[in-house]
Structure 1
Amino acid sequence: MISVCMATYNGEKYIEKQMRSILSQISGEDEVVIQDDCSSDNTIEIIKSLRDPRIRVEINEKNQGHIKNFEIALTRAKGDIIFLSDQDDEWMPGKVEAVLRAFQDAGTMGVVTDAVVVDAEDKIINESYFQITGSRSGVLKNYIHNSYLGCCLAFRREVLQPALPIPRSVRTHDGWLGIVANMLGDVVFLDEKLLRYKRHGNNASQMHRFGMGDVIKRRLSLAFHMVRVQPTIYAVRQARIRKGENAK
C-alpha cells in the first residue's frame, strides 16, 4: 500500500492539477493523506470536488506551520511506502512505477527522483534539480549539504519509527527524513526526471542560503539528533534482518 502525504495551505491555484497527476498513478488500495493548515481559500473545496475515496483530508484546528503539518500527515499514513508531495508540483507519468521498482531491492530504504524546475507559468527554469544541488546519496554528504528534496522523496514505513517526531531544531523535514532513511539502509537517487518542481515565490520551502552561524547551529543540532536515534535505528535494522530471515 502507498501513502502519499501532502501538507496543504492556500493552494487553490495548483492543487487540482497536482492531485490529478497523483491519483492517476496510484491504485484503488492506496491513499492520499492531506493535512490542511487552516487554508482560507478554496483548497479544501477543490480537493473534495474530486470525490475520490482514496483522499483522506484533515484540517488543523489552528495553524501548525509547514514541518508540523507534514508530521501530522505522516502519523496518519497507513502505507508501506510513503511518498511526500507538495501541493503545487506535478507528478510526471511513470513516477510511482519507477520508484516502486527501486524498492524491489530489500536494502533500499528511500528513493529520490530528479525533477525539472519550473516557474509559476510552468516554464522550465532548470532541466535538472540534481544538477543544481549536486544531489547524491550518503549520510555524510547530506549532513554537510542536504540534497533530499521532499517532493521527490519516498521511503519505507520503518523510517517513521526513528524519524518521528521531527526535531524542530533541524532545518527541514525532508532533510531529516532522508538522513534517517540513509542511516537505515540505501537511498537510491534516480536520474529520471519524474516531477515538475514549481518555484513561484510563495512556496512554503525556499531555495536560498543561510548565514554561517545558522548553518553551524543547525548542523550541531542535526548531529545530536542523529546520535540520539541510533538505538532506534539499530532496533529497526535488527527487526528487518529477522523479518528477512523468517521470510526465507
Structure 2
Amino acid sequence: MTSRQEKILRAIVEQYAEVASPVGSVLLAKTFGVSSATIRSEMARLEEMGYIVQPYTSAGRIPTDKGYRHYVNSVSTQEVQPQLGTGLVDRNARAIDARIKTAGRASKTIKSAVDSLVEITHNLAIGTIGDQLYMSGISNLFNQPEFASTSAVHEVAMLLDNLEPWLNEVAPNKPLSVYIGSENPVGKTSGCSLIVCKYRSPYSDNSYIGVVGPTRQNYSQTMSLVQYTGKSLENIL
C-alpha cells in the first residue's frame, strides 16, 4: 500500500466513524487537494486489495474488516498514549478518574468505570472483577444504524449471550486486545468489535474492562480510554 493509499484509507475509516455514511471521492479530493479522478483511482485500488467496499451503486466507500484491521494495527502505542495528554480524550480520562476514585467499594468502582465508558463511547461496556460481570449500554448498540434489522439484533443478542462464558474461560492474556467484526470470538457475524483490556486486581489476575460496539467506531479514542481505565482500576482497587 502506498503512502497516499494509507492516508486515504485512514480518512475513510475516520470519516465513516463520524458520519455513518459512505465516504465519497469529492470529499476526499478536497481533503487531499487532488482531483476526484485521482481519488477514485486510489479507491479502486484499495477496493481491489479488500480494504474498502462500495455498499451500493454510485455510493462512496466504507471500510471492510480488513481495512479496519489495517487501521488499528497502524494506531501504535506511541500514537494512542499521547492522546491522553490533550484534548477530548484527556478530559474524558479525568472524568473517569474522578468517578471511579469516589465510588467506594470494589463493585461500585467497576460499575462506575463501566458506566463512564458507556457515556463517553456511546457503546456497550463490560467489566469483570473475580467472577462478577458488569454490563451496561445495551440500548446504545441497538440504537446504531448497523443494528436496525431483526437479524442484526439477533446476532448481537447471541454475542451478548456468549460474552460472559468467553471472559471466564478463554479471554485474552494481552493488556489490550481488539477484535474486529469477523475476528470477534463471541460473535463473528454480529458486525461488532470488541476492545478489551486485562487488568490485575486483588480479586483476580484476570479481570477485564472493555467496550463492544459496531465496527464503525473511533478506535484510537476507544482503545486509549479502555486501556487508561484498566490501568486506573489497577491503581485504585
Of Structure 1 and Structure 2, which has the larger fraction of its residues in helix? 2
**Structure of greater relative contact order (alpha carbons < 8 Å, 6+ residues apart):** 1
For the pair shown, which has the larger CA radius of gyration, 1 or 2?
Answer: 2
Of Structure 1 and Structure 2, which has the larger fraction of its residues in strand? 1
* TM-score, L = length of structure 1: 0.30
* TM-score, L = length of structure 2: 0.31
